[in-house]
A = this chain, B = another copy of it.
Amino acid sequence: ILDTKYTKNFISDEEIKNIGLEVEKAHSLLIDKNSQGKGSVGWIDIPRESDDRLMGEIESIAKSVITNSDAIVIIGIGGSYLGARAAIETLVPGLVGKKIFFAGYNICGDHIKGLLDALKNKEIVVNVISKSGTTTEPALAFRIMENFMKKKYSPKKLKDRIICTTDRSKGAMRRIADANGYRSFVIPDDVGGRFSVLTAVGLFPMACAGIDIREVIRGAKEQFFDSAECNVENNACYRYAAIRNLLYRKGKKIEIFASFDNRMHYIDEWWKQLFGESEGKNGRGIFPASCDFSTDLHSMGQLIQEGERNIFETFLIVDKEDENCLIPYDNEDMDELNYLAGKQVDYVNLKAYEAVSLAHFEGGVPNMTMHLAERTPFCLGQLFYFFEKAAAISGYVSGVNPFDQPGVEAYKQKMFKLLGKYGS
């Protein structure tokens, strides 16, 4: 559920109604198979047309992986890993760094070396996720990891321990998989990286973390129907797209996406790519920033409350709190916290959220809240689909093609030249 009450003073009902026409156009562009985005909208129907054979294959391979390994290394960057990481950190906190390791998302020797040290005496399985196989970060990490594993395992055993998620037929990673007999999952041609969390890209790592991926898809499917109707009033996903465009036009150039739970930090990161890459082009685009509250209230809070009024916020709140940490009573009460004794820590956190959303609203920062009912695979499936569709609609409303990313090559070409890559 999206709560938009704290945008009320900033946007009139009439403005929402008027932008409804633009949202309708965006909706048409999205479903029109002849628009500029055609060939990139395969993600729309994934939840409805859930592929039972694929789900079974993911579950069965994940099961064998979990059994045969002490450590599962997921190699990917950007859209190839942020969705999976968001789901795993949120739903199975504490697993990353113990059984699940992420690699290939930076070019940091210390990180790779530290990982190899940690894996020395472990049984390893690697899932490398790369459409092309030549993106520098994951390609480097995979080369080093494969080299490491070749010393540990015979070629025959390696076949059970490396799983590639890549293009159906093209690219270096496809050739590597085929030449070595590694098992593979397919990244559909019509699904871009930042929209791929509900494909094998996101689902296989989730399954390896023990997450019920059918529940994720079931949640996405519910959201599919909840956000199907082209109506800004009833369709919260479209309303979110509409409101953020209205706020942007009124000079709110920065959107802070903030959860109140450190475990959900990577949802912020996933969201940042989804919206930043979809909208940031042609000299325009809302700047997506993230905060972890309440932590960041003690760094960014002052500026949000009283700085330049070019900010709006979207909060991510889980309505059903954990009940895992009671505040004890203290005879002395020198810290004056006895008024909270017997309450859950997360209860205080929820009140902090309520206070922040009101205080920021009163300070001139419009804000919305995305309420998740529970911290479950089902609700996360809803969330993923909600924001994917919102990003597509929002991008079209803002006048760009939400499915391309022409600017990401600029630095790479310069880097290849500096590195002396042949032909660059």
Contacts and interface: CB of A to CB of B under 8 A. Distances in A.
B335 A307 contact: no
Given A108-B262, A345-B108, A327 B407 contact: no
A364 B397 CA distance: 25
A353 B417 CA distance: 13
Interface in A377-416: 405-408, 410-415
B289 A303 contact: no
Most buried by B among A94, A301, A340, A406: A301
Given A262-B111, A336-B134, A415-B355, A280 B309 contact: no
Given A279-B307, A359-B411, A418 B302 contact: no
A304 B306 CA distance: 26
Contacts of A205: none
Interface stretch (A14-22, A58-66, A290-298): A290-298
Interface string A70-105: 000000011100100000000001100100000001
Interface string A344-364: 111011011011101110110
Contacts of A113: 324-325
A344 B113 CA distance: 11
Interface residues of A, number: 118
A297 B108 contact: no
A334 interface: yes
A305 B106 contact: no
A301 B279 CA distance: 12
B352 A298 contact: no
Given A339-B420, A339-B421, A276 B299 contact: yes
Most buried by B among A279, A294, A363, A422: A294
A43 interface: no
A172 B407 contact: no
Interface in A249-296: 253-254, 260-263, 269, 272-273, 276-277, 279-285, 287-289, 292, 294-295
Interface string A306-336: 1111110000000001111101101010111
Contacts of A303: 276-277, 279-281, 285, 287-288, 407
Given A139-B335, A415-B351, A419-B351, A407 B298 contact: no
A175 interface: yes
A372 B385 CA distance: 43
Contacts of A300: 272-273, 276, 280, 288
B334 A179 contact: yes
Contact of A324 (B109, B284, B359): B109
A348 B294 CA distance: 37
A228 interface: no
A133 interface: yes
A142 interface: yes
A300 B176 CA distance: 29
A411 B345 CA distance: 18
A411 B269 contact: no
Contacts of A179: 332, 334
Contacts of A261: 108, 110
Contact of A106 (B82, B109, B294, B363): B294
9 contacts: A78-B298, A97-B97, A106-B262, A106-B295, A107-B260, A110-B322, A305-B408, A305-B411, A354-B414
Closest 3 pairs (CB-CB, A-B) = A280-B303, A78-B298, A280-B307
